[in-house]
Each structure stands twice: as C-alpha cells, then as structure tokens.
Amino acid sequence: MLPVILLYIVVFVYGITIGSFLNVLIYRIPKKENIAIVRSHCMKCGYQLKWYDLVPLFSWLTLGGRCRKCKEKISVQYPLIEALNGVLYMIVFYYYGLSIDSLLYCLLFSALLALSVALCKGPVLRLHYSPALNRSRDVAGCHNVTSSS
Ligand SMILES: [Zn+2]
C-alpha cells in the first residue's frame, strides 16, 4: 500500500495537469479557438511550445515566467490556476478519499474554477435580445449588460 503522502502527491500532480487544461479552456473558448488540435504557443512570437515547456507549474518556474524564445512575460494566471486546481483536488481527496464522490467534486470544482476565471476576464456568454430579458434588465436596473441582437 502506498504511503498517504504519495497519494496526495499523485492527486496534486493530477490536479495541476487538469489545471493546465483549464487554462487552455479559459483562454481559447471565449476566442472560439480549437481546444484540441492547435498546439500551445506564445501569444507574441507564435513559438510552439515543446513538451518540456508544458509541464504544469515547473515550466513556468524554470522559464522565470517568460517565453523561451522572445522572453515575453507569461501571465502568472497559468501557474496559479494549475496550483489552485491541484490544491482543490487534494482538499477533495482529504475529505472523500478515492471515491466516485471525489471524482465528481473534482470535476465540479474544476468547472467552477474555469468559469469563475473566464467570467472575471470578460463576457463569456453573449446574451441575445429578447423583450422579456430586456424587461427583466430594466426591473433589475442593469442597462450596461453586453448583448447582441
Ligand atoms: Zn514568445
């Protein structure tokens, strides 16, 4: 049987790996970019990241938070999301152990984390015009909500 600390390390590594994928979702979905086929790249110079540039947390730390090629700063959001997701998974594991409940809570927390960050970065959902929605906005006093018609 594995020592408990080793299980926590495995859960954390799993969490930061999923957290790395959450960063892909957070960045690409609002821009309607492909999340599966397009390789990760630098936003400034287009440098396609190698496998060793994609190791969650460690790549950002070893590169000093900068692109390997052009030295453009890479947002601290990336390692923070990865680390936070890893910690959330360890907390879930602490309370529920290896169980289906853990799996479901991890999925739920990851979805909430990705959605929260995406919402903080800007509008994710485009509201379509509807008279009923407009009336509810008037009642709520929301006149500056982004909408498309
Ligand atoms: Zn670059």
pLDDT in tens, the chain (149 residues): 668 999 999 999 999 999 999 999 998 888 888 888 888 889 899 999 999 999 999 999 999 999 999 999 999 999 999 999 999 999 999 999 999 999 999 999 999 999 999 888 876 655 555 666 566 656 666 554 444 44
CA 59 to ligand 1 centroid distance, Å: 14
CA 133 to ligand 1 centroid distance, Å: 43
CA 63 to ligand 1 centroid distance, Å: 12
Phi, psi of 114 (to 5 degrees): -60, -45
Q: Structural domain tally of the chain?
A: 1
CA distances (Å), origin 58, targets 55, 78, 79 = 6, 11, 9
H or E element in which residue 128 lies: strand 127-128
Strands (E), 1-125: none
Three-state DSSP class for 41?
A: strand
* Domain extent for 9: 4-148
CA 53 to ligand 1 centroid distance, Å: 12
